[in-house]
Structure 1
Amino acid sequence: MTLEPRNRIEILKAIKKLVLANHINVAGVDYDIWAKHLDERTPELLNADLASFEAGIRQLLTELKTSHTVFYHSLSKELLPQHTINASLKDVPQDGCRRWMFLDVFEDGPAHKAGIKPGDILEAVDGEDYAPPTTPHFVIGQIHTLLVRKPRSDIGSEITIAVPIRKGTKQRPPIVEPKSPIHQMVGHGIGLLRIVYFPGAFGLSFANALDDAVDDLKRRGCDRVILDLRGNMGGSLGFVRLASYMCAGRLPIGHSLTPTRLRSGYDPDALPRVPMPSTRAELLLTLARFAVRDKSVMLLTQGLGPQPFQNRIVILVNEWTNSAAEMVANFAAENRLATIVGQKTRGNVLGAANFRVGSGYWLRLPVFGWFTSKGHTLEGTGVEPDVRLEISVEALAEGADNQLNKGIEIASAL
């Protein structure tokens, strides 16, 4: 693929215009300095090879100091493993060196279907060795051959993974969406809800699926629940339904801010208090209400009423718990609705949209800020667990999950 200078100029102009018009500046970046830097780099980017052109734009975007800020092609080769093969990686020591270990392997995803399990060690991809800090990338619509071995084993085996073709939209990049939610009973009266993604633009279908899962757990005698948000990729407003099951009434989860409201200043108590719509009709009414006004709001839970597991909830998180899942975890922490177990979350908590910038390229840009009900930002800070517990590589090698086991122990005592 080649990219003519005129196409590059079109892309750079579009990026500059979109950033200045839509970017939520939670880091207080000086846009004049950033725009000047972009202009200074333009001659170099026009004459660079394609890989250097893409890398140069990504470097400029890092100067905005926000998550959810990505430059990618519709046939991207730069997506994270969880977005393509539905598995996250962790840097671990192995035999005196660093290796990538599969950490979260999402059920029914490409990695899971290929037989990969948490704790497996990745040695190579398509014949090329990979070790931290170099992250392997898997390409949408392609087949990859991985060399994988079990912990404590010197013998590797080749595994073929087929990454499905996916197209991006204004709501999401071209990612492979994992199955979510997944539920089961894991002990007497203890239900497990594993949620690795909140799919859909507004989360209505996810909310229906979550309702079915919760109803099934309650029919099976669930009066305690473990919410496994480890590896969660974020997603849509479906997270509000999950938060709503944690309390009986309508509580504030947090507030979103547009760039305009952030610049002009605001009083959180004066923001419109909006419960997440439960039906398509309510959604249409809400969209109409904010069609021609600022969309900064205080988001409320839906008031689903008492549940048998309320005040007996454990949430599992790790370093790959992102975005909407962090909003859920923080809501639980601020209102003391659950015990949080695991590792500090990612700290990627902004609302984003995707914009076409020309020649098949897209810009993913944060367009809403998110602040907790108490006015704190999670961007760059994340959520600290109540019980900090690192995943045990040794336990995974034996097919055990020490974080889940700790969650079951805590839930049993509630």
Structure 2
Amino acid sequence: MAAVTALGLLSQGAAWAKGTQELIVEQAARLNIELNEQEAAVLRRTLPIIGRRYLREMDSTPLLKATMEGLKEYDAALAGIKKTAKDEDAEAPEVTPSEYRRIALALNKGLNTLDAHSAYMDPNSYKELKIRISGKFAGLGLEVTMDDGLVKVIAPIDDTPAQRAGMQTGDKISHVDGTPIKGMTLREAVSRMRGLVGTTIRLTVLREEVTDPFEVLIVRDVIRVPAVRHRVEADYGYIRISGFSQRTEQGLRTAMTKIDDALGGNSLGLIVDLRNNPGGLLRQAIRVSDVFLDEGTIVSVRGRLEEDNDLFRASDGDLATGKTVIILVNEGTASAAEIVAGALQENHRAIVVGYRSFGKGSVQTIFSMGDSGALRLTTALYYTPSGRTIQAWGILPDLLIESDGKKSGRREEELKGALSRGEATPHVIGPRATIRGERCNQLLAKPMDDHDLACAVALLRAGSLDRLEHLASSVAGSQQDASRKE
């Protein structure tokens, strides 16, 4: 690799604004670290953005030092792979990483000294992000994961080429167009399955009840991934929002219209399920909140620069026309989903049910760098209508479902590099009541496997938290009386 430039470590408190060339100086050469043209270009573009736009003023030294360490670690690991192959008298594996892989790993090690969510995305990663945001892509229509080195089908998406071709939950894909999946990452395998609309792909499939592998031919098409799903029950509507892409608000409006057409005046209200929703677009979270509000503040955003500060208010027009709204949350409810839960809770428009949410209260801005990918940088924090931060605190539900003690996932404060809570929040809202999940099922004529949803339904039918607590106490008392009689 030809040495074209070098990365310099700035002294304590050195200003970022002196220009990119002063950041790329003699230290890398002194430490014998070389950068190619693409890597140097990435650093020249990212470092000034970080210095100018990051959430807080910061010393550049830890970031640059960690980036340097990342470069050295990458080179050492690569040398180790080649040495192992040589020592074993084997053919050295052909290492042909993306031209951005080395700088991506190194720069992300540096960015992790800032917080858990800032990151550099190489061109392929940036392309994947844009596909996720758009809510549509050209592919097959499969939800997949990796299982023992093969791609395993979680589920085919309804009305997609994969479903029409007969793909089933549990199928395992071993080859794509004759190329083995073994050795690929999930991202690499998914990338191979995507392609131009109208082109045909050949999958080799293993199915549990079929003795031999078989091939499936599928013609790629535009896949629209619904961020909103709904169903109509006898006396309420259930809406599941799995993420906030460009199509979420419209999907919500469509779902609510269909529920209203089906139930009319017979609806007790809506249950909006935000569990395990990782977030997404800030603007979509604001629009989704506004669907249920006639007035009031939705969220405020505050950053280091004036241009990063904003206050978002609701416009007139509650599509639910005042009907009861219950929001389901858990520790997987994050970011944009927490904005919605907090806005509706503090505007007294919804009752939040479940567990303390994830606590991601930071805003990331995407800075495109053309053919060099993009920088996702934390530029602000968001605050609920009352002015409290969600960062590392999360949203506390009005009705807290007592945990069974099983830990189902990490929260923001447990992430490496997570931003601190930053300020005391003495006026944290909730919980107003607690209940055990199995107790909710005792209040329903037809028990549910999903205890959280059972609590939401029981609350909706009870009409208020006070009434739910009264009913739950009555059931508990009746059971105690029955036990004494026995």
TM-score normalized with structure 2 length: 0.54
For 1:356 and 1:79, how far apart are their aligned partners in 2?
14
Q: Is the counterpart of residue 227 in structure 1 residue 272 in structure 2?
A: yes
The Cα shift of 1:15 comes to 1.7
With over 3 angstroms needed to count, the CA separation of the structure-2 counterparts of 1:253 and 1:74, relative to structure 1, is: same
1:37 to 45, 65, 73: 65
Query: Alpha-carbon deviations, 1:98-129, whole Å to 9, x = none?
Result: xxx99999867899898676xx8999997669
For 1:337 and 1:158, how far apart are their aligned partners in 2?
53
For 2:162 and 2:354, how far apart are their aligned partners in 1?
23
Query: Alpha-carbon deviations, 1:226-276, whole Å to 9, x = none?
Result: 1112333422412223323434x3111221123214xxxxxxxxxxxxxxx
Q: Which amino acid aligns with 1:213?
A: A
1:182 to 216, 220, 229: 229
The Cα shift of 1:207 comes to 3.8
With over 3 angstroms needed to count, the CA separation of the structure-2 counterparts of 1:298 and 1:355, relative to structure 1, is: closer
> 5 Å matches for 1:170-319?
178-188=225-235, 190-200=236-246, 206-220=248-262, 221=264, 222-232=267-277, 233-247=279-293, 249-261=294-306, 294=307, 296-305=309-318, 307-310=320-323, 312-319=324-331
The Cα shift of 1:216 comes to 2.6
Q: Is the counterpart of residue 58 in structure 1 residue 86 in structure 2?
A: no
TM-score normalized with structure 1 length: 0.62
Partner of 1:368: 380
Q: Which has the higher contact order (CA 8 A, sep 6+)?
A: 1
Q: Which sections of structure 2, spanning at least 5 residues, go unmatched? A: 3-33, 79-96, 146-151, 195-202, 409-437, 439-447, 464-486
Q: Which amino acid aligns with 1:219?
A: D
State the SS of the aligned residue for 1:348. Answer: coil
Worse-superposed segment, 220-229 or 378-387: 378-387
Q: Which amino acid aligns with 1:301?
A: A
Query: Alpha-carbon deviations, 1:341-400, whole Å to 9, x = none?
Result: 34443333333332234654322223332122222222333223333367999x9xxx95
Q: Which amino acid aligns with 1:141?
A: S
For 1:367 and 1:137, how far apart are their aligned partners in 2?
28
Q: Does structure 2 conserve the Cα–Cα contact (< 8 Å) formed by 1:347 and 1:382?
A: yes
State the SS of the aligned residue for 2:110. Answer: helix
Count of residue pairs brought into register by the alignment: 337
2:361 to 345, 349, 354: 349
Partner of 1:72: 121
Percent identical pairs in the alignment equals 18
> 5 Å matches for 1:144-183?
178-183=225-230
Partner of 1:97: none
The Cα shift of 1:191 comes to 0.7
With over 3 angstroms needed to count, the CA separation of the structure-2 counterparts of 1:45 and 1:206, relative to structure 1, is: same
Q: Does structure 2 conserve the Cα–Cα contact (< 8 Å) formed by 1:16 and 1:35?
A: no
CA RMSD of aligned residues (A): 5.0
The Cα shift of 1:296 comes to 1.9
Partner of 2:344: 332
For 2:69 and 2:221, how far apart are their aligned partners in 1?
34
Q: Which amino acid aligns with 1:322?
A: A
